[in-house]
């Protein structure tokens, strides 16, 4: 820096100090300072632009990270709430089923034990389930099993804490029934399909019509009398044949009931497992 430039800078500094001293001592410089503010305002605003841009970028980056984090939390919370909602729906359905089962148990005169289905036989040619009550709970072979809507089947095998139930829809199962309307007796056998039973050896002249309720007759001593078994869904008289073709829909919800009733009845005999199966 040349001597002239140093003198110039020194003079500016001295002038600035003098003006500052005068500004603090007298008031007649206020209009000058005010007007100077107009002149210097654009320069001041321009000087503040880099800082403002830096602050905006920093705030934007922070806000974006916060929004991403909040969005992630909300998604997780939504997933949790949806899962809970699904669970509540399942619990509500189970609660309804338990209330219906309780209502059914109040209508049963015999002593009952509530049990739950824990497994279904995967074999497509059998209709069997596994329940969570066994010999330690007093379960016995041949014991009737009901759901909230009707007779579901009978116990065919007993372990200490589980039992196997043969459902009435199994093709190896047969049960004596009678028409609730008039007492006409028949034998209902399983077809292997959960939604259909077949009545065998029904004469063409038998008074059985669509919509008749079939209940257990109690004959044979394996099932107590009077439990709903099925509702007649079709009756067909085939010319040239002595017997009518009669099908019925089971009253029990064989494909969906989870909570069941084991019936302890004087009318339900304890029979060997080999006598459970239908003889052909």
CA 59 to chain centre: 45
Pull the structure tokens for residue 163: 């039992």
Boundary-marking domain end, from 107, 126, 146: 107
Cα-flanking dihedrals φ and ψ of residue 115, to 5°?
A: -140, 170
3-state secondary structure of 5: helix
Between 24 and 121, the more confident residue is 121
Residue 170 within any structural domain of the chain:
yes
* Contact call for residues 154 and 162 (beta carbons, < 8 A): no
Q: Say which DSSP state 208 is in.
A: -
pTM value > 0.75: no
Q: What confidence score (pLDDT) does residue 178 get? A: 93
Residue 280 within any structural domain of the chain:
no
Residue 129 within any structural domain of the chain:
yes
Residues 251 and 124 in one domain: yes
Q: How far apart are CA 248 and CA 207, in angstroms?
A: 15
Residues 66 and 137 in one domain: no
Boundary-marking domain end, from 107, 137, 164: 107
Boundary-marking domain end, from 50, 85, 107: 107
Query: 9-18, 41-50, 72-81, 129-138 — which one is most confidently predicted on average?
Result: 129-138
Q: How far apart are CA 219 and CA 112, in angstroms?
A: 21
Q: What confidence score (pLDDT) does residue 273 get? A: 41
Residues 68 and 93 in one domain: yes
Residue 175 within any structural domain of the chain:
yes
Q: How far apart are CA 62 and CA 53, in angstroms?
A: 14
CATH code, domain carrying 254? 2.40.10.340
> Pseudo-torsion of CA 232, 236, 237, 239, nearest 10°?
-160
Residue 91: is it exposed, middle or buried by C-beta count within 10 angstroms (0-12/13-18/19+)?
Answer: exposed
Question: What is the average pLDDT score of the chain?
Answer: 80
Residue 90, domain extent: 1-107
Digit-coded pLDDT (tens) for 116-153: 999 999 888 899 999 999 999 999 999 999 988 889 99
Instruction: Please check the confidence at residue 278 and state whether its pLDDT lies above 60.
Output: no
Query: 83-87, 167-171, 222-226 — which one is most confidently predicted on average?
Result: 167-171
Digit-coded pLDDT (tens) for 73-106: 887 777 666 655 655 655 666 676 667 666 665 5
* Direct distance between the N- and C-terminal alpha carbons of the chain, in angstroms, rounded to an integer: 123
- The residue-averaged pLDDT of 195-216 equals 94
Residues 126 and 46 in one domain: no
Residues 16 and 121 in one domain: no
Q: Count how many domains the chain has.
A: 2
Residues 116 and 234 in one domain: yes
Out of 72-81, 188-197, 206-215, pick the least confident: 72-81
Pull the structure tokens for residue 268: 């339900």
Residues 87 and 155 in one domain: no
């Amino acid at each position: 820096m040349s001597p002239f430039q140093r003198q110039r800078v020194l003079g500016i500094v001295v002038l600035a100090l003098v003006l500052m001293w005068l500004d603090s001592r007298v008031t007649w410089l206020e209009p000058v300072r005010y007007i100077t503010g107009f002149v210097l305002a654009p320069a001041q605003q321009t000087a503040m632009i880099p800082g403002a841009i830096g602050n905006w970028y920093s705030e934007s980056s922070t806000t974006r990270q916060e929004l991403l984090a909040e969005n992630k939390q909300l998604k997780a919370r939504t997933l949790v709430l949806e899962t809970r909602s699904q669970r509540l729906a399942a619990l509500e359905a189970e609660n309804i089923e338990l209330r219906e089962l309780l209502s059914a148990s109040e209508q049963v005169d015999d002593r009952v034990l509530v049990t739950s289905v824990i497994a279904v036989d995967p074999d497509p040619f059998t209709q069997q389930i596994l329940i969570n009550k066994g010999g330690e709970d007093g379960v016995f072979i041949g014991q009737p099993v009901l759901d909230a809507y009707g007779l579901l089947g009978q116990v065919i095998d007993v372990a200490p804490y589980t039992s196997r139930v043969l459902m009435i829809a199994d093709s190896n199962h047969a049960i004596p029934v009678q028409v609730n309307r008039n007492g006409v007796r028949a034998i209902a056998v399983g077809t292997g399909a959960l939604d259909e039973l077949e009545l065998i050896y029904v004469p063409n002249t038998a008074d059985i019509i669509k919509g008749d309720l079939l209940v257990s007759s109690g004959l044979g001593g394996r099932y107590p009398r009077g439990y709903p078994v099925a509702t007649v869904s079709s009756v067909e008289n085939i010319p040239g044949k002595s017997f009518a073709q009669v099908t019925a829909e089971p009253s029990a919800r064989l494909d969906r009931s989870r909570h069941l009733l084991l019936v302890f009845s004087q009318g339900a005999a304890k029979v060997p497992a080999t006598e459970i199966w239908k003889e052909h």
